[in-house]
Amino acid sequence: MKLLITGMAGFIGHAVAKRLSGQGHEIAGIDNLNDYYDVALKQARLDDLAPCEDITFIKLDLADRAGMEALFAERRFDRVIHLAAQAGVRYSLENPHVYANANLLGFLNVLEGCRQQQVEHLVYASSSSVYGMNDKVPFATSDNVDQPISLYAATKKANELMAHTYAHLYRLPATGLRFFTVYGPWGRPDMAMFKFTRAILEGKPLDVYNHGDMSRDFTYIDDIVEGVVRILEVIPAAPESDTAEPAAATAPYALYNIGHGSPVGLMDFVHAVEAATGREANCNYLPMQPGDVPRTWADTQALYEVTGYQPTIKVEEGVRRFVDWYRDYYSV
């Protein structure tokens, strides 16, 4: 297959590209290599992919309409895995326009390219943050309980609506994946796993929000990648409609959670990092941050039903693998 992976220099994009390489596909990846976090880490991920002869990288901004049109005009893609986005809840409070450009305008450019080429399947990243303040657990897409409380989450919910619209109007098969707090080797420096490990190894205090009274459904990167790769094969079909009316239900559209399915308390997560590093954390307890939610918890049943797959890697094991990678990467 000819595949496009957006956000290929990112945490998840790099891992998905690496997993799909060597399987007979022709893979093109794009990324704007922005400086939201350490650009050297993004470059190192691309360097890690450089030996893969079936992968081509193009530096391109999603919001560059002419550039995106040229990409889709010059190359043919069978399937598109859209992972590029401006991520992060807290950053969206200070930089709302970045989110509108990357996640709304950028997403529209991806949809338009997919529509024009009539790609077989668009698989795109959504987020557990769309559930927001929902307190019906575990979180299930079928419950329609979304209560996003950050602009980041709102753009992800908007992506789901935009993709549904294109599925409905243009028969573009589209699957949204709500990822739950992803962690592991090559992870993001703005996320808890990375920050906690760095602080503990450097003997510095680490910030613990809501005084540690939070839980997250931490999901190991390999589990996310496996879910993405399997879902790529599950092209949603539009159900047959028995009326002339184009009912919403006739869109070839699907939405799944990819999460471990077992929330972990923030302090338990800190203890796992302590165990993996062999050092004690010096916690700086802080109040809840605006836009943050107290807990996330994925219902994994729908993913299991269509792929036969459920994330498996437990947090102690995943944290140990991250810390091993961190020590090796930074030689500490």
| List of residues contacting ligand NAD (CB under 6 A) | 7, 9-13, 31-34, 42, 61-63, 83-87, 102, 106, 125, 127, 179, 181-182, 188
If the CB atoms of residues 118 and 312 are measured against ligand NAD, the closer one turns out to be 312
177 backbone dihedrals φ, ψ, rounded to 5°: -120, 120
Residue type, 310: Q
The candidate with the shortest Cα–Cα distance to 252, out of 274, 276, 236, is 236
**Cβ at position 243, least distance to ligand NAD in Å:** 36
DSSP per residue, 75-104: ---SEEEE------STHHHH-HHHHIIIII
**Cβ at position 103, least distance to ligand NAD in Å:** 8
**Cβ at position 34, least distance to ligand NAD in Å:** 5
Say if CB 139 and CB 257 are below 8 A apart.
Answer: yes
CA count, 13 A, side-chain hemisphere, 249: 7
**Cβ at position 221, least distance to ligand NAD in Å:** 8
The candidate with the shortest Cα–Cα distance to 230, out of 100, 81, 99, is 81
If the CB atoms of residues 62 and 272 are measured against ligand NAD, the closer one turns out to be 62
Say if CB 271 and CB 316 are below 8 A apart.
Answer: no
If the CB atoms of residues 102 and 293 are measured against ligand NAD, the closer one turns out to be 102
Say if CB 13 and CB 6 are below 8 A apart.
Answer: yes
Closest residue to ligand NAD using C-beta atoms: 10
If the CB atoms of residues 104 and 239 are measured against ligand NAD, the closer one turns out to be 104
Q: Please give the Cα distance from 184 to 325 (Å, whole number).
A: 8
The single residue listed with the structure tokens 């976090």 is 37
Q: Residue 148 class from Cβ within 10 Å (0-12 exposed, 13-18 middle, 19+ buried)?
A: buried
**Cβ at position 23, least distance to ligand NAD in Å:** 21
- Report the catalytic residues: 152
If the CB atoms of residues 102 and 174 are measured against ligand NAD, the closer one turns out to be 102
Structure tokens at 137: 């657990």
